[in-house]
Amino acid sequence: MTADRSVAAAAAKLGKTFTGQLLKPADAGYEEARRVHNGLVDKRPALIVQCHNPADVTEAIKLTQELGLEVAVRGGGHNVAGRATTDGGVMIDLAPMKAIQVDLKNQTVRAQGGATWADLNRETQKHGLAVTGGVVSSTGVAGLTLGGGLGWLMGKYGLALDNLCSVDLVDAEGKAMRTAKDEEPDLFWAVRGGGGNFGVATSLEYQLYPIGPTVTGGLLAYPYDHARDVLRFFRESTASLPDEQTLFAALTHAPDGSGAKLAAMVTSHCGSLDAGEKAVSPLKQFGSPILDAVGQMTYCDLNGMLDAGYPKGAFNYWKSTFLRQLSDDAIDTMIQCFARCPSPMGQLLLEHIHGAVARVGVQDTAFPHRANGYNFIVLSQWTEPAITDQCIAWARETYAAMEPFAAAGRYVNYLGDDEPGDAVSAAYGPNYRRLQELKTKYDPKNFFRMNQNIRPLG
């Protein structure tokens, strides 16, 4: 029997009990379902299994094991490396699983694995509650959290993964499991940073905090010839931020598509509106911005204000690293490199980390990056296929130019799909060996390998 017939026969058998949808390459809806956020990723699974509940996930895993095919797991499908899909394997698609349940008594929320941060924030903000989520609202809840979870609230409340109460998983044998501090605690340690290496996260439960519905935040943009002063001011400002405030910086382009280069800062403050106004006042008084959009806004608007800059289907190629420090030489190198950016959608980003994130021990969770500092991202993005090689080359050249300022650590959620050496080991640093031991315990055959893969021992 040919591979296609094997898949068809197995799908037909599964269809008798499966409550979701099974899509083969010739089926209506397949082309849309196979696409992930990054248009540079163009893979064709032999079968897309759109799950409606954890039982569907269990059956999908058993089917994939039976067929002996590679499995990829799609939550929000946002990851730049495109690990949510596979050529010729099975994509387990959680997109239909978007249920959000808010527990007001315990101030917690449970989100299914296909939910996005827009889905979660919309439900929790009905009650004036929130948890650290992504800075782009179309990002999937599960993927962002399992690898870390930087967001607007992290200075006050830590990463998304720091606020996990429990995670429901389906393991490599199709077994449903719940993990929390008092249930499979080793596994709970591993999933808080270990990505999709240990199972399919069908739901995640988070602690919530009183936030909003109105907060202080927004964006300031300056002419590009002021970039050096802006980045130096950003460096000075991040030296003394309150926990409630987050501040990022970027070398970016005007959103009108003109190609005009800008220097920008984007900020948020999750405390009282009076405290927020006081905290952002120095930013608003600095220089002569050509755009000052910092003020009061809803928390949902804060989480969606950057969405337009990350359209689905655009081509993306990213490189990132933590920096030892944001020196004058590093700033000058960024400015020189960005001057050569070939696409009006490209950016260089600086994400500042401080506060609650840095007060968690390096080995308390699998996520090891617990120092104050900066995550630097070369975000090459474009829509014209003709400049693909040019845009990828610019990202690589810029990253190479910034390597003298790089720290040892890298954020696993931003790793690309063509990293030289053992980038995953470098991303986990002192926690990698324990992660390998737990991978050996929970997934010894490395069934879940279409991810930033942690290899089992042996």
Whether the per-residue pLDDT at 193 is higher than 60: the answer is yes
Q: Predicted confidence band at 420 (pLDDT cuts at 50, 70, 90)? A: confident
Q: Predicted confidence band at 400 (pLDDT cuts at 50, 70, 90)? A: very high
Mean pLDDT for the stretch of residues 128-135: 96
pLDDT at 128: 98
8 Å CB contact between 307 and 134: no
pLDDT at 3: 62
pLDDT at 417: 73
Mean pLDDT for the stretch of residues 136-142: 96
Into which CATH architecture does domain 214-414 fall? 3-Layer(aba) Sandwich (3.40)
Strand order in the sheet with 200-207: 100-103, 108-112, 200-207, 164-170, 176-180
| pLDDT 10s digits, 76-91 | 888 889 899 999 999 9
pLDDT at 181: 97
Q: Take residue 18 and report the two structure tokens written for it.
A: 């499966």
8 Å CB contact between 362 and 368: yes
Mean pLDDT for the stretch of residues 307-313: 94
The pTM of this model reads 0.95
Mean pLDDT for the stretch of residues 338-366: 98
Mean pLDDT for the stretch of residues 204-229: 98
Q: What is the C-alpha to C-alpha distance for residues 190 and 197, in angstroms, rounded to an integer?
A: 9
- H/E segment holding residue 9: helix 3-14
pLDDT at 8: 78
Number of Cβ atoms within 10 Å of the Cβ of 327: 13
Average pLDDT, the chain: 95
Mean pLDDT for the stretch of residues 144-166: 98
Into which CATH architecture does domain 3-93 fall? 2-Layer Sandwich (3.30)
Q: Predicted confidence band at 402 (pLDDT cuts at 50, 70, 90)? A: very high
Mean pLDDT for the stretch of residues 287-308: 96
pLDDT at 418: 77
Do 3-93 and 214-414 show the same overall fold?
no
Query: Angle at Cα 166 formed by Cα 163 and Cα 168, nearest 5°?
Result: 135
Whether the per-residue pLDDT at 1 is higher than 60: the answer is no
- Of 292, 289, 283, 279, the closest CA to residue 234 belongs to 283
pLDDT at 376: 98
| pLDDT 10s digits, 97-116 | 999 999 999 999 999 999 99
Q: What is the C-alpha to C-alpha distance for residues 154 and 163, in angstroms, rounded to an integer?
A: 10
CATH code assigned to 100-211: 3.30.465.10
Whether the per-residue pLDDT at 375 is higher than 80: the answer is yes
Q: Determine the residue type at 261.
A: K
Domain ranges for the chain, please list them.
3-93, 100-211, 214-414
Whether the per-residue pLDDT at 250 is higher than 90: the answer is yes
Distance of CA 168 to CAs 108, 272, 291, Å? 15, 35, 44
Q: Predicted confidence band at 2 (pLDDT cuts at 50, 70, 90)? A: low
Q: What is the C-alpha to C-alpha distance for residues 429 and 214, in angstroms, rounded to an integer?
A: 39
| pLDDT 10s digits, 217-237 | 999 999 999 999 999 999 999
Q: Predicted confidence band at 257 (pLDDT cuts at 50, 70, 90)? A: confident
Whether the per-residue pLDDT at 21 is higher than 80: the answer is yes
Phi, psi of 13 (to 5 degrees): -65, -45
Lowest-pLDDT choice from 4-8, 123-127, 198-202, 376-380:
4-8
User: What percent of the chain has a predicted confidence (pLDDT) above 90?
Assistant: 91
pLDDT at 256: 86
Tell me whether strands 209-210 and 200-207 are parallel, antiparallel or unpaired: unpaired
Tell me whether strands 47-50 and 90-93 are parallel, antiparallel or unpaired: parallel
Q: Mapping DSSP to helix (H, G, I), strand (E, B) and coil, where does residue 164 land?
A: strand
**Residues in the chain, overall count:** 458
C-alpha 237, offset from chain centre: 25
